[in-house]
Amino acid sequence: MLQALGLLCDAARNHEKVSLTLKGNKGSRSRSSSPWFQFDECFKESLKKMCSEILKVLESSSNNSLKVTAFSALEVLAERFPSNSSIFGSCLGSITSCITSHNSTVTSSCLRTTAAFINVLGPKALIELRNLMDNLMKSSHIVLSKDLEPKANAVSSASNEPHFVSVLVTLEAVVDKLGGFLTEDLNNIMELMVLRPEYVSGIDAKVESRAHGLRKLLAEKVPVRLSKNKYCLMVVL
């Protein structure tokens, strides 16, 4: 199963490369014998079944490597075939429930897949916003609390860098696509971005860059009237 999902990811990624080649060739038609180009009802049904089978892997497997690959497959499918939003919409709930995994690598992969789905679904993802934000904040607090333990040091913070980046990637998607619906979550997001040293200390360049981008996005996408925490909002602005 692990190898099959890996091959699926490669095939979907290669689809984009082929598409770009065809678009760049003015003398050729945008047609191909590849099944990835046959976006008819049969293809949609196959894609739906494929996503369903991948979700079964996530729900039943205890193999973390397999789960990470399954999330990667879903992420690639969402990025390559965004027009099939109804299919991905039915998967989002199952994905967001995995955010609180005890394995940080699984959690990071889950968050990135969640971000990809939100970018595809836009406002259609609103139905899962409450569950998503609850799990994202819960997961973040667990990781951040570990960094506050006596044994915590720069090494432990560095080891959590993929998680911090994945949180920021997901929040970027949420703020960009659902910024006007964040009344209940805005304070938590801003406190994370303004008051948590992991996101403002500059220890990690990737985290610092992402956090800076998210703070700018908050100022652009979220109406000021939604904020109850005026101090945090002033700092963001």
- Please tell me the predicted confidence (pLDDT) of residue 47: 83
- Does domain 2-11+39-236 sit in CATH 2.50.20? no
Helix (H) or strand (E) holding 89: helix 85-89
Cβ neighbours of 150 (radius 10 Å): 5
| 57-84 pLDDT, tens digit each | 898 888 999 999 999 999 988 988 888 7
User: SS3 for 40?
Assistant: coil
- Identify the DSSP state of 209: H
Spatial CB neighbours of 145, under 8 Å, sequence gap ≥ 6: none
- Read off the pLDDT band of 222 (50, 70, 90): confident
Mean pLDDT value across residues 34-60: 77
Rg (CA), the chain: 19
pLDDT in tens, 11-25: 666 655 444 444 444
Domain boundaries, given as residue ranges, for the chain: 2-11+39-236
What pLDDT does residue 204 have? Answer: 82
